[in-house]
Structure 1
Amino acid sequence: MDILRIILVILHFVGLSMLLGGFLVQVRAIGQGKGTVVRVMIDGALTQLITGLLLVATIEMGDLYDLDNWKIAVKLLIAVLITVLVFVYRKKDPAPSWALWAIGGLTLANVIVAVAWR
């Protein structure tokens, strides 16, 4: 079970990199009013959501340690919001700048919750 958890954590970080990297690539285009939701952002959001759910499931099944359910709920809410935004605006060319900034900001917020919430 521990190897599975480690693989899921790695994939969760890969999803984060895809989502945040896709946003950062679009920052210049957002400033010019030409930003779009690129495919890597969609894949990253789905990877984050799925691996996050699987991580919680493996931790609960293995009874490794107690999870903070409020923290998990906040992270899940943020991940769902990000996923909804990338799917709603994936075909809009250009996507509204507020939506792209929200995707980037919510992604950063999810990292802050993961790291700073003790």
Structure 2
Amino acid sequence: MDPLIHAMIGLHIIGIAALLGGFLTQMKAMGKGEARMVPSMLHGALTMLVTGMALVGLHRAQGDAVNTFKIGLKLSLLVVVLALVYLNRDQEEGERVGTAAFGTVGALTTADVFIAVLWT
């Protein structure tokens, strides 16, 4: 079961990289008010959701203790990020994502990473 858990962790990190990487590539455009939710942000958030749920299930199947409060907090942040990205993903050429919504995606994603790493 450990190789499967490690594979899911790797995919989870790839999802984080896609979401955060998509955000970081749009930082310069955000300063100009022209930021867009790129497809990699949506795909990264969905990857994080699916692999995160799989990781919780795999750990529970092994009988490992799971911190449900931590997982619930991370899931809540990810659902907000996913909603913001999904609702703003298909903007017309003239429409741009608001700086507040775009900045919130970056801040919540970063908070999600720090919760995962620092909360033991």
TM over 0.5: yes
Q: What is the aligned partner in structure 1 of residue 90 from structure 2? A: 91
Residue 3 of structure 1: CA displacement?
Answer: 1.2
Matched, 1:73 2:75: no
Q: What is the aligned partner in structure 1 of residue 13 from structure 2? A: 13
Residue-pair matches, total: 117
Amino acid paired to 1:75: K
Q: Report SS of the residue matched to 2:26.
A: helix
Residue 78 of structure 1: CA displacement?
Answer: 0.7
Residue 105 of structure 1: CA displacement?
Answer: 0.4
Residue 52 of structure 1: CA displacement?
Answer: 0.4
CA deviations over 1:82-112 (Å, ceiling 9, x no partner): 1111001112231111111011000000011
CA deviations over 1:32-91 (Å, ceiling 9, x no partner): 11100000001000001110011001100111x211110010011011111111001112
Aligned alpha-carbon RMSD (Å): 0.8
Amino acid paired to 2:20: L
Identity of aligned residues (%): 38
Quote the Cα distance in structure 2 between the aligned partners of 1:102 and 1:47. Answer: 19
Q: Report SS of the residue matched to 1:112.
A: helix
Q: Could you tell me the TM-score, scaled by structure 2's length?
A: 0.94
Q: Could you tell me the TM-score, scaled by structure 1's length?
A: 0.96
Quote the Cα distance in structure 1 between the aligned partners of 2:41 and 2:10. Answer: 17
Residue 25 of structure 1: CA displacement?
Answer: 0.3
Structure 2, unmatched stretches of 5+, are: none
Structure 1, unmatched stretches of 5+, are: none
